[in-house]
Amino acid sequence: MPQEITELTKKYPAVSEYITQIYLILRDYSYCNNRRLSLHIGVSASAVTQAVLRLKKLGLALQDTYGMIMLTPKGTELAEELLRRHYLLEYLMVKKLNFPWELADDEAGHLQDKVSPDFINHLDRELGSPRTCPHGNPFPDNPDAEKILAAPGLTDMEPGDLVEVVRITEEGERIDGLLHACFEIGVMPGNQYIIERFDDASVHLASANTGTTYAFDRRFAEHIKVYRKDIP
Ligand SMILES: [Fe+2]
């Protein structure tokens, strides 16, 4: 399969984008249809129809009579391998090369289907087999994936709660300005905040470390997944 990725994506460049986005939508929402896919990728409904048809012909996806899209075992395997590549490349960029945390997702997206399986396996060994990407999203084989993916959103919390950032959703990573806003404040995995209050535009946070207060854009907050912590 790893070898197939380079061949397949050379022939059909859009396949890797569609297959990974379907996988991620299914992982976060448990269902995927053409509308959700077109919103997620930011392309027209007709482009999605064509792409899904292509995936079906390639034996990578299925669609039922209600329009629900599923991946075949081969499609799932391909998506998981692409995601593993994406996360390892992000990890290399952020943790080893000091490449900006908020820019790594884009760069990894350009490279993920270009590098060889040997390079990826080498990366995995050299990086010590990381279990999440630098934005907190779990590798497909992470044994804690279920718990990480079930973490509630910042918008599900109450004023006074102490929270620890777990992950920025993949959907969030794609929203213009979101990763940058997180980076500026330090809304990154492992960092803790007290929720002070919500208003129409912002979630007001205080760093649990320094006490510094921040107004975090409320449109971004649902994409920030957190664990509620006990206040010491
Ligand atoms: Fe990431």
Q: Distance between CA atoms of 179 and 136, rounded to whole angstroms?
A: 12
pLDDT at residue 10 is higher than 90: no
Q: How far is CA 47 from CA 55, 136, 170, in A?
A: 12, 31, 21
**CA 172 – ligand 1 centroid, Å:** 10
- DSSP, collapsed to helix, strand or coil, labels residue 40 as helix
* CATH number for the domain formed by residue range(s) 2-74: 1.10.10.10
CATH architecture of 83-141: Orthogonal Bundle (1.10)
**CA 87 – ligand 1 centroid, Å:** 6
* CATH number for the domain formed by residue range(s) 151-229: 2.30.30.90
- pLDDT single digits (tens) 170-202: 999 989 999 999 999 999 999 999 999 999 999
Burial class from Cβ neighbours inside 10 Å (0-12, 13-18, 19+) for residue 64 reads: exposed
> Is the Cβ–Cβ distance between 77 and 1 less than 8 Å?
yes
**CA 222 – ligand 1 centroid, Å:** 16
> Is the Cβ–Cβ distance between 155 and 221 less than 8 Å?
yes
Q: Distance between CA atoms of 111 and 63, rounded to whole angstroms?
A: 29
Same fold, 2-74 and 83-141: yes
Domain boundaries, the chain: 2-74, 83-141, 151-229
pLDDT at residue 72 is higher than 90: yes
pLDDT for the residue 1 = 60
**CA 232 – ligand 1 centroid, Å:** 31
pLDDT for the residue 206 = 96
Average the pLDDT over 25-52 and give the result. Answer: 93
Mean pLDDT over each residue of the chain, to the nearest integer? 93
pLDDT at residue 64 is higher than 90: yes
What protein residues have CB closer than 5 angstroms to ion ligand 1? 90, 133, 135
pLDDT at residue 13 is higher than 90: no
User: What predicted TM-score, i.e. pTM, was given to this entire model?
Assistant: 0.89
